[in-house]
Chains A and B, each alone.
Chain A
Amino acid sequence: MTAAIELQDASRAFGAVVALDRVSLAIAPGEFFALLGPSGSGKTTCLRLIAGFDRPDSGRILLEGEDVTDIPPYDRNLNTVFQDYALFPHMTVAENVAYGPRVRGVAAEERRRRAGEMLELVRLGSYGDRRPAQLSGGQRQRVALARALINSPKVLLLDEPLGALDLKLREEMQAELKGLQQRLGITFVFVTHDQGEALSMADRVAVFSQGRIEQLDTPRGLYTRPRTAFVANFVGSANVVLGPAAERLTGRSRPFAIRPELIEVLPAGATPAEGTIACSGTLEDVLYHGASSRCHVRLDKATLLAVSRAESAAGAPLPPQGSRVQLAWRPESMVHLEAG
């Protein structure tokens, strides 16, 4: 099957700063794909190359197997939802949505009808005559979506689409975007720095760091089998235990990661279960998060571990801060990381 989007060894530098360093990736048709990374990691540059707003210094970009490296954005069959939505302030909502058909020479009557349909799709049917400035952030976002989808693109690119929304709206829009993508069956590529967003929405995630892809995997794969310390830390904040500390705990110097919720907290005198790795330390603090609590335990072997304990967990309540505790985990909970 031909990939919807393919990057082959794409590089892009801005002066001395290498934004993208020989990145290759293939996105399947109909996939919900996330480009995840901290700011400056190259994810936005990657999106801009796909959209055609920027050209790679070397390497190629293919859309459905066709080399589009030198094709300007207006001749590429994909559309973008911008981080700031980029709605035209001098046009009404309906004119904004109808802009794509308008510049492609669709008759006024036909494009008015299609713009109306798209606005219905994003549940803004009665807002056509307003100006973008009269809408809330969430409504503007939906207008931007309708405007990008009206040309029936094969691929929709979304640049931090939910970044400017407040938490509650963000969660609503996550579900809405996911539903929309499944209904339309087109490829969605979205850029985000929010790992929770990437994990909950995407089919596959490419984690970027310093212009390279650290790991490309399903959300579950990234969470349960991070390959590097960066991914383990960035995706769902695991405990990353490096060489010397790892050797003291497990007898092997290979670094490993362990998720906070896979560690059990036991009172100082208790006997850990058969086959677990156990160690003792001091409970430094407890942060209450509602569904769970997060404890920081300073181990006697000089490492700090975060432990997450569900409020619904059975067993004795947490001992007070400053008390001695034991931590125990099953060896298979540890994920060994690539060195470096």
Chain B
Amino acid sequence: MLRSVSTFFQRRNAFYVSLLLVPPLLWLGTVYLGSLFTLLSQSFYAIDEFTARVVPTLTLATYRQLVTQPANVDIVVRTLLMAVAVTIACAVIAFPVANYMARYAGSKMKALFYVGVMLPMWFSYLVKVYAWRLILAKQGIVSWAFTSLGLQGALDALLATPVVGGPSLASSYIGMFIVFVYMWLPFMILPLAASLERVPASLLQASADLGARPAQTFRNVVVPLALPGLAAGSIFTFSLTLGDYIIPSVVGAPGYFVGMMVYQQQGTAGNMPLAAAFSVVPIVLIALYLTFARRLGAFDAL
């Protein structure tokens, strides 16, 4: 009986595959893509100024509002700059760690590193964000450490930097940047380590054998071959920063970010079209970023 069932599936491969794929595809197609499409269509609706009701007639007024009001443009630029800075910092910090994990660590050390990198992801996101607010606060451990080491002046100078500085780390963009980098670093390290592990050691030896110094081997062989991992990791760090609304509302300067704007417009303000238009911003930026990464050849080695 069982045998005839398996024979049946074996002979009708297409039927078997579709049986497996239809439920998830239905979910993805209707629930996920459907709601995304509904959201996007909302951004083309207008809102009645007096009744605050959504008027279902197609208009570009919301987008006009998004790109012409300086406050809204500021929010988009601020979010974008933060996402770029966080992505670059994550890449710079993650590369040596990932390279060590992939190439130099023994099996025990490697396991330790993988656990160490993933461990913070097992704890509540909110707990970590609030913990960072305390760590970075005016009377927090960071400022205490600076003072005990007699480096109070250095911290004050850092906080005196225009725009990114502030009264304390917890209420400056520098602090927000630190928390973002901390939060998304594992998402950069893991894909990067995976792609570095796939680079055969013989390629590095061949490069040295042909006369390349370690820095040249790194630039000409390691980085190009790690690009797919770097691209994957940066998609995480970039898009997670673009969409996040909790970190900017708990840590950092009072300026709005895209995620906060979406949250506020669809919640308290009840302006669904503007919230929808703001949520289109990360999608567009990530699409642009992917096109850019593709141009650079980040996916050639895939």
**Which A residues lie within 8 Å of B211 (CB)?**
74, 100, 103-104, 151
**Residues of chain A from 16 to 58 with CB closer than 8 A to chain B in the complex:** 51-53
List residues of chain B with CB within 8 A of the CB of A79: 209-210
Contact B208 A73 (CB under 8 A): yes
Do A84 and B200 touch across chains, with their CB atoms under 8 A apart? yes
A100: which B residues are within 8 A, CB to CB?
Answer: 210-211
B208 contacts A86, CB within 8 Å? no
Whether the Cβ atoms of A90 and B209 lie closer than 8 Å is no
Does chain A have a CB within 8 A of B287?
Answer: no
Q: Is the CB of B225 within 8 A of A89?
A: yes
Answer yes or no: B301 CB below 8 A from chain A CBs: yes
| Interface size of B as a range | 20 to 34
C-alpha gap A50/B281 in the complex (Å): 58
Residue B72, interface by CB 8 Å: no
Name the residue on A nearest B202 (C-beta). A86
Residue B216, interface by CB 8 Å = yes
Q: Is B6 an interface residue (CB 8 A)?
A: no
For A89, the chain B residues whose CB sits under 8 A away are 225, 301
Question: Given the complex, which residues of A lie within 8 Å of B208, measured CB to CB?
Answer: 52-53, 72-74
Cα(A100)–Cα(B220), bound, Å: 12
CB distance from A156 to the nearest CB of B (A): 11
> Would you give the 0/1 interface string for B203-224, flagging 1 where the beta carbon is closer than 8 Å to chain A?
1011111111100100011001
**What separation, in Å, do the CA atoms of A151 and B208 have in the docked complex?**
13
Output the nearest chain A residue to B221 by Cβ-Cβ distance. Answer: A88
Whether B224 pairs with A82 at a CB distance below 8 angstroms is: no
**A99 part of interface (Cβ distance < 8 Å):** yes
How far apart sit A147 and B209, CA to CA, in the bound complex (Å)? 11
Best-surrounded residue of B200, B212, B300 (most CB of chain A within 10 A): B212
Interface residue tally for chain A (C-beta within 8 Å): 24
Question: Do B203 and A88 have beta carbons less than 8 Å apart?
Answer: yes
Min CB distance, A171 to chain B, in Å? 25
8 Å CB contact of A53 from B205, B213, B297: B205
CA distance A88 to B200 in the complex (A): 10
Task: Give the chain A neighbours of B224 by CB distance below 8 A.
Answer: 90
Q: Digitize A83-120: 1 where CB-to-B-CB distance is under 8 Å, 0 elsewhere.
A: 11011111000000001101110000000000000000
Which of chain B's residues have a CB closer than 8 A to the CB of A88? Answer: 203, 206-207, 221
Is B205 in contact with A90, judged by CB distance below 8 angstroms?
no
Q: Is the CB of A73 within 8 A of B205?
A: yes
Interface residues of B in 173-216 (CB under 8 A from A): 200, 202-203, 205-213, 216
Asked if A103 and B220 make an inter-chain contact with CB atoms under 8 angstroms apart, the answer reads yes
**Complex: A96 Cα to B208 Cα, angstroms:** 13
Given contacts A90-B300, A90-B301, contact A80 B213 (CB under 8 A): no
Instruction: Output the residue of B206, B212, B213, B221 with the most chain A CB within 10 A.
Output: B206
Cβ–Cβ contact B300 & A80, under 8 A: no
- CB B173 to nearest CB in A, in angstroms, measures 37
Name the distance in Å between A102's Cβ and chain B's nearest Cβ: 8
- Minimal beta-carbon separation of A164 from chain B (angstroms): 13
Which B residue's beta carbon lies closest to that of A150?
Answer: B210
Contacts of B301 in A (CB 8 A): 89-90
What's the least CB distance linking A105 to chain B, in Å? 10
CB closest chain-A residue, reference B208: A73
A120 to B115, CA, bound (A): 52
CB distance from A142 to the nearest CB of B (A): 15
Interface bits A136-168 vs B (CB < 8 Å: 1, else 0): 000000000001100100000000000000000
Residues of chain B within 8 A (CB-CB) of A102 are: 220
CA distance A53 to B216 in the complex (A): 17
Across-interface contacts of A99 in B (CB, < 8 A): 207, 210, 212, 220
Which residue of chain A is the closest to B301 with respect to CB atoms? A90
- Residues from chain A with a CB closer than 8 A to the CB of B212 are 74, 99, 103
Task: Name the distance in Å between B72's Cβ and chain A's nearest Cβ.
Answer: 41
**Nearest Cβ in chain B — how far from A299, in angstroms?**
49
The residue in chain A whose Cβ has the minimal distance to the Cβ of B227 is A90
* In the complex, residue of chain B having the shortest beta-carbon distance to the beta carbon of A48: B205
Neighbouring A residues of B221 by C-beta, 8 Å: 88
Of A51, A73, A148, the most chain B CB neighbours within 10 A belong to A73
Instruction: Write out the residue numbers on chain B whose beta carbons fall within 8 Å of the beta carbon of A147.
Output: 206, 210
Interface string of B223-258 (1 = CB under 8 A from A): 011000000000000000000000000000000000
Name B212's closest neighbour in chain A (CB-CB). A103
Q: Which residues of B contact A (CB under 8 A)?
A: 200, 202-203, 205-213, 216, 220-221, 224-225, 297, 300-301
20 A-B contact pairs sorted by A residue (CB < 8 Å)? A51-B209, A52-B209, A53-B209, A72-B208, A74-B211, A74-B212, A80-B205, A84-B200, A84-B202, A86-B200, A88-B203, A90-B225, A99-B220, A100-B210, A100-B211, A103-B210, A103-B216, A147-B206, A147-B210, A151-B211
- A sample of 11 more A-B contacts (CB under 8 A), given A80-B209, A89-B301, A99-B212, is A72-B208, A74-B208, A74-B209, A79-B209, A82-B205, A82-B206, A86-B205, A103-B207, A103-B210, A103-B212, A148-B209
